[in-house]
Amino acid sequence: MSGSMFRLAPPLFILVFGIIFLTWSYSYDESAQQVPVLVGWSLVVLCVLDVIASSGTKIGDGVKAFFTGTIVGEGSFDLSSQPLPKVLVAMAWPIAFVPCVYFFGFVLVIPFYVFLFVTLQGKNPVKTGAIAAVIATAFTWIVFELLMNYDVYQGIIFAE
């Protein structure tokens, strides 16, 4: 796979996924689609920026520099430093999240997802993963259920 295709494959794949998610979000009734549509549009906009940043063009390099900045001592981008298995694993996390939420709902999936991501992918201690899971779940529940009075999606298995 050529260097430019290697750089563009993940953001293009996630962009297609985001467009599908956004389209699917519009199938919900007006009240239920508010948050999924917001998330979908956010994902699409961020993915478009990621595609541009990964393009290797002058504009892309400018977008990349704007959002990531330059880390002191940062080496040049080396394709061999990002082997395909690592890229696929990184892509698997958000891809696995969606079907899990579809079946089990946000409130059940978020703590497991965050815990596993922080401990396995982030290689952080179990305590850190547990704290992150509790904070993310509490934040989701408080913001959407309490403050916005929005019924958080419960998944098809636990739907009332």
For 67-107, write each residue's pLDDT tens digit: 765 544 444 455 555 677 877 887 888 889 989 998 998 88
The residue to which tokens 């478009």 are assigned? 48
CB neighbours of residue 7 within 10 Å: 21
pLDDT at 133 (0 to 100): 93
Tell me: pLDDT of 56 over 90.
Answer: no
Backbone angles phi, psi at 154, to 5 degrees: -100, 0
CA distances from 65 to 41, 48, 57, 135 (A): 23, 15, 12, 31
Angle between helices 3-25 and 84-104 (to 10 degrees): 10
Average model confidence (pLDDT) for the chain? 82
Percent of the chain residues topping a pLDDT of 90: 21
What is the three-state SS of 53-104?
HCCCCHHHHHHHHHHHCCCCCCCCCCHHHCCHHHHHHHHHHHHHHHHHHHHH
HSE-up (13 A, CA, CB side) for residue 105 = 15
Helix (H) or strand (E) holding 14: helix 3-25
78 is written with which tokens? Answer: 């080396």
106 is written with which tokens? Answer: 């946000």
CB neighbours of residue 75 within 10 Å: 7
pLDDT at 4 (0 to 100): 64
Residue 153, helix vs strand vs coil: coil
